[in-house]
Structure 1
Amino acid sequence: GASATPEPVWTAEALQRITRGQWLVEPPPDWLARSVVRGPKHMELLPAPALFVASDYQTLAAHERYSRPRSTVNWDRHLLLPGLQDQLAGAIVQHPVEGLAPDFPLLQVEDPIRAMLRLGAAARERYRGLLVGVTGTVGKSSTIAILRDLLPAQARVHTTIDNYNSRVGVPAMLASLGPDVDVCILEMAQSSLWMDRGPISLMARPHVAIVTEIGLSQTRQAVSVEQTAEYKSRIFLGLEPGGVAIVPDHIPCLLQMVQAAARTAGAVWVVGRGPQADVRVLGTEPEGHGCRVHIALRGRTHSYLFPVASEGLVRNSTLSFAALVAMGFDPEAACARMPGVRLPASVMHVQALRTESGVQATLIDDSWNAEVMSMRNAMAFVRDYGRAGGGGSGAAPVARRIAMLGRIVNLDHAAEAMHRSLAAPLLDSGIEHVVTHGQEMRWLREEMPASMLGPHFESAAEAAGYLGAFLRDGDLLLVKGDRDRSDFGDIPELLQKL
């Protein structure tokens, strides 16, 4: 049970053996690490004491196989160690580091990222619990969040944090997987599934693999929906013998996906409203702020209250429910827990916005985080919203399309080019009025026609105040940006109080 002290994730002896490294500074006798982290951001999200993996950008880029490593970027995380040492158990380094306490444990290896990948593989080898893999164009984080909350309270659970789902991210998440965890839930991105050396799912070896959605994401690897489906279906190649593949029935290329799954899966469960679905959604009706969902599975009917009436999120709840049953947990207990699931806030959340002056607009709150890809996707969602076949077809006609855009963080030296690159998709989105927040957005402003630009703000309260006065009935407002180290994330809440 969760009350007992968790076993150490790594001992000094295991680390040296698996990484083939050399302790420059030996740890004390009963030393242990409970997680492995590659950056300060993850130290807050994983259990302490953490072992830090220091590397430079070029080493990481080589392992991630970035198609265009940024030659101008040359950060080196070794330089962060002196400032972080008090919060760490020790570090894996490529070379000795100045400014550290003489007793700070240091394990020297040839390539710290490769060492971390080896730890991920070794952690998976020794692991005896259940592992779930989740992939899809969208919906990964919310599906994982729902599934985590459906598991019994006493279950020890380890999940992907911070969407770290790349070909380095998946093994990095496994590197923090303790031997006594009951369920590990891993998010996998397309990049970790299309690699030429075989998909990362071969290393992760899930017992249950979920595909949430197949759509065209703006990657150079996938040029068609069929090709996207082919890449995503590679998650099934790593299934453990007898493993279960879970696929929603609304996706394009459903047959292709089911056939791909059938090659390796012990069972393929199709989830959805169609007559052929194995996990069949019989219907949904509004209840409170959310909706009640009725599901037939293995000849029994279950019903649960889901707290949000969003079609996409309800669909993710059905996939999570199916995964939980596939793992052998009790479906009725899961139904009882469903009303209490906590979703990642502000993930493509479409809601009505009524200001005090009586204006009725629609808010798309996507202020959780931002990267170039999700910015482009949000702009495309706005472009198609309310148009036939688009994100909100069937919605009332849109008066004006307005965007409140915040900066993208963690781009280092590429920040200027990346922010400027958003001009083309923005011009293509049908957005007529753009309000910006955060220093880096000034670059995008320089690329835009003055007629489209509203003011620039560094304060969430001022930005929300401006929008409150500007909005008219029928407007569609996108709020998209990153809340990291900024007050941008306050804007949706401030708008609701207008």
Structure 2
Amino acid sequence: MTEPLWTAREALAATGGLLTDSKDWVAEGVSIDTRTLKPNDLFVVLKDQRDGHDFVPDAMARGAAAALVERGDCGPGPHLLVPDSLDGLRALARASRERSKAIRVAVTGSVGKTSVKEALAAVFRAAGKAHWSEKSYNNHWGVPLTLARMPRDTQRAVFEMGMNHAGEIRELTTLVRPHVALITRIGPAHLENLGSMEAIADAKSEIFEGLLPDGVAIYPADDPFAPRLASHAKETAAGFLLDFGVTPGAAIAVTDFESSPHGSSGQVSVLGKSVPFAVRAVGDHWAWNAAAIFAAGIASGIDAEQVADALAAVEPEAGRGRAAKIAFPDGEFTLLDDSYNANPVSMRAGLSVLAATAPERGGKRIAVLGEMLELGPDAPKLHAELAGAVDAAGVSTVILCGKLMKHLHDALPAGVEAIYALDAESGTGALAEHLGDGDVVFIKGSNASGVHRIARALTEGRAFGGGKDR
């Protein structure tokens, strides 16, 4: 019989709290959201824009085993009463870590971290009992929640770590204490908060500070900040440094990489041994992603051939480069949905995918681009500098959403039809006006730009009533 995730007495010992009502409950999961809570979950109250205490009665009505709370006046129990519920969640996370024999991998980076995390989770699942961050649960509550949810018998686990400010990744990696820590690539994400690319590299390097003694620090050999990342790693408990990329001298190097609208393939050199691989994802940036996945997989005790086999079956997630054929009143078009988030590096990578995807039946390439946020004083310049990448991608029509995209609009050459929309809602209407049979539509922008709603409207058929005649 499978052991429960948490017993009441284990949760009490971990948190140092006070049990009310029943002291014999068992929890099979941990939840912070009554909408997704499952029967026998431990409901953890968090306070943000809304106070989770208000939802305790609903959680108990939905079958929660108990609720971890700061107040005893929030309805029927049983309750585990603690001074601070987020600290209580962190305490559960630490206890989960201490009782586990799992190999823990931490992943961060300015671009590619979620794609690498998801693919690495697939590799781990193929190799045994795996656990991984749900969605992009990579912040101050998402990482402890993921760790607190880790089943006792997990063999390998991967945790995504994000940040907006210096010091945030240090807190997360110290909680997880990974055996392997990976930085994908450094780019100008969160430049507004950190001020310089050097500061971004330093903040990402904090992930190495949580490594267990003799842990493995993995960093991108091709990155301009590779020496800086390696220097930080050498100052930690890391016993091994492993670099990856497309540079032949890297310990894990991808060569002969080719990408087509149907997928990508190449060879990976693992300490001199060459292994062929293929992925269903598209774009030159997948050369770096694949190298990172091989590096972390091998560092976690999985051989390169097993990594290659698992990688071949990985499907890109919605919003992260997934390609789909969509029927509409005037025929069919191809949607390249990369709408989850964006910075200048990932935007160029996505546009290269658009360039490699040929329209059909006389169609055209359309790009729907949302503004990139948190870039600081250089934001206007960084938006305008995308003009060359848009032109090189063979875009016929570009729909630009958000105030900062006005700078790209003004920098585009005359041969590109540029439509400026103040927001995503206006962009949806503009796209419906210009969409035709055989077109390829690429959508990307910062999450707050709202262009993911355009992608959803397209997939759900809400973006068009009658289409456009050619």
Query: What are the residue-to-residue correspondences of 1:377-388 with 2, within 5 Å?
Result: 383-387=384-388
The equivalent of 2:399 in structure 1 is 402
Question: Which of 125, 128, 143 is matched with 2:116 structurally?
Answer: 143
The equivalent of 1:52 in structure 2 is 43
Q: 1:355 to 1:466 in 2, by over 3 A?
A: farther
Report deviation, 1:168: 3.2
Name the SS of the counterpart of 2:433 in structure 1.
helix
- Contact 1:18–1:122, Cα closer than 8 Å, also in 2: yes
**Within 2, Cα distance between the matches of 1:379 and 1:165?**
28
State yes or no: 1:229 paired with 2:201: yes
Instruction: Give identity over the alignment, percent.
Output: 25
Query: What are the residue-to-residue correspondences of 1:366-381 with 2, within 5 Å?
Result: 373=374
Query: What are the residue-to-residue correspondences of 1:203-218 with 2, within 5 Å?
Result: 203-218=175-190
Name the SS of the counterpart of 1:137 in structure 2.
coil
**Within 2, Cα distance between the matches of 1:480 and 1:372?**
6
Q: 1:244 to 1:481 in 2, by over 3 A?
A: closer
Q: 1:319 to 1:190 in 2, by over 3 A?
A: same
The equivalent of 2:292 in structure 1 is 319
Question: Which of 273, 280, 283 is matched with 1:307 structurally?
Answer: 280
Q: 1:481 to 1:259 in 2, by over 3 A?
A: closer
The letter for the 2-side match of 1:433 is: Y
Report deviation, 1:346: 1.8
**Within 2, Cα distance between the matches of 1:332 and 1:144?**
19
> Which digits, 9 at most, give the CA deviation of each residue in 1:332-390, with x for residues without a partner?
12212222112222225345487788331144689xxx99659x999988644352xx5
State yes or no: 1:76 paired with 2:74: no
Query: What are the residue-to-residue correspondences of 1:28-427 with 2, within 5 Å?
Result: 29=24, 31-40=25-34, 43=37, 49-57=40-48, 73=49, 75-85=50-60, 86-98=62-74, 100=76, 104-153=77-126, 155-191=128-164, 194-195=167-168, 198-264=170-236, 265-286=238-259, 289-347=262-320, 349=338, 350=350, 352=354, 358-363=362-367, 373=374, 383-387=384-388, 394-396=392-394, 398-403=395-400, 423=403, 425-427=404-406
- Contact 1:166–1:191, Cα closer than 8 Å, also in 2: no
Name the SS of the counterpart of 1:242 in structure 2.
coil
**Within 1, Cα distance between the matches of 2:379 and 2:364?**
21
Q: 1:427 to 1:285 in 2, by over 3 A?
A: closer
- Contact 2:254–2:269, Cα closer than 8 Å, also in 1: yes
The equivalent of 1:10 in structure 2 is 6
Mind listing any 5+ residue stretches in structure 2 that lack a counterpart? 322-337, 339-349, 410-417
The equivalent of 2:343 in structure 1 is none
- Contact 1:363–1:477, Cα closer than 8 Å, also in 2: yes
The letter for the 2-side match of 1:113 is: L
The equivalent of 1:68 in structure 2 is none
Q: 1:355 to 1:301 in 2, by over 3 A?
A: closer
Name the SS of the counterpart of 1:88 in structure 2.
coil
The letter for the 2-side match of 1:34 is: E
Report deviation, 1:129: 1.0
Name the SS of the counterpart of 1:16 in structure 2.
helix
Report deviation, 1:321: 1.4
> Which digits, 9 at most, give the CA deviation of each residue in 1:202-255, with x for residues without a partner?
221111111011012235541111111111111111111221111122222111
TM-score, normalised to structure 1's length?
A: 0.74
**Within 2, Cα distance between the matches of 1:357 and 1:154?**
43
The equivalent of 1:26 in structure 2 is 22
The letter for the 1-side match of 2:57 is: P
> Which digits, 9 at most, give the CA deviation of each residue in 1:299-336, with x for residues without a partner?
31101111122122332122111111111112112212
Name the SS of the counterpart of 2:194 in structure 1.
coil
Report deviation, 1:37: 2.2
Name the SS of the counterpart of 1:250 in structure 2.
coil
- Contact 1:216–1:222, Cα closer than 8 Å, also in 2: no
Name the SS of the counterpart of 1:234 in structure 2.
helix
Name the SS of the counterpart of 1:295 in structure 2.
strand
**Within 2, Cα distance between the matches of 1:160 and 1:377?**
32
How many residue pairs match? The answer is 422
The letter for the 2-side match of 1:227 is: A
Report deviation, 1:107: 1.3
- Contact 1:399–1:476, Cα closer than 8 Å, also in 2: no
The equivalent of 1:433 in structure 2 is 420
Name the SS of the counterpart of 2:167 in structure 1.
coil
- Contact 1:270–1:278, Cα closer than 8 Å, also in 2: yes
- Contact 1:193–1:201, Cα closer than 8 Å, also in 2: no
The equivalent of 1:61 in structure 2 is none
Mind listing any 5+ residue stretches in structure 1 that lack a counterpart? 58-72, 406-421, 442-453, 458-462
The letter for the 2-side match of 1:148 is: A
- Contact 2:257–2:287, Cα closer than 8 Å, also in 1: no
The equivalent of 1:408 in structure 2 is none
What is the root-mean-square deviation in Å for CA atoms of aligned residues?
Answer: 3.8
Q: 1:478 to 1:191 in 2, by over 3 A?
A: closer
Name the SS of the counterpart of 2:244 in structure 1.
strand
TM-score, normalised to structure 2's length?
A: 0.78
**Within 1, Cα distance between the matches of 2:64 and 2:201?**
41
Report deviation, 1:9: 1.9
Name the SS of the counterpart of 1:252 in structure 2.
coil
Report deviation, 1:162: 2.7
**Within 2, Cα distance between the matches of 1:211 and 1:145?**
15
**Within 1, Cα distance between the matches of 2:262 and 2:154?**
34
- Contact 2:165–2:194, Cα closer than 8 Å, also in 1: no
Q: 1:17 to 1:393 in 2, by over 3 A?
A: farther
- Contact 1:166–1:192, Cα closer than 8 Å, also in 2: no
Report deviation, 1:135: 0.5
Q: 1:288 to 1:478 in 2, by over 3 A?
A: closer
- Contact 1:202–1:237, Cα closer than 8 Å, also in 2: yes
**Within 2, Cα distance between the matches of 1:294 and 1:117?**
41
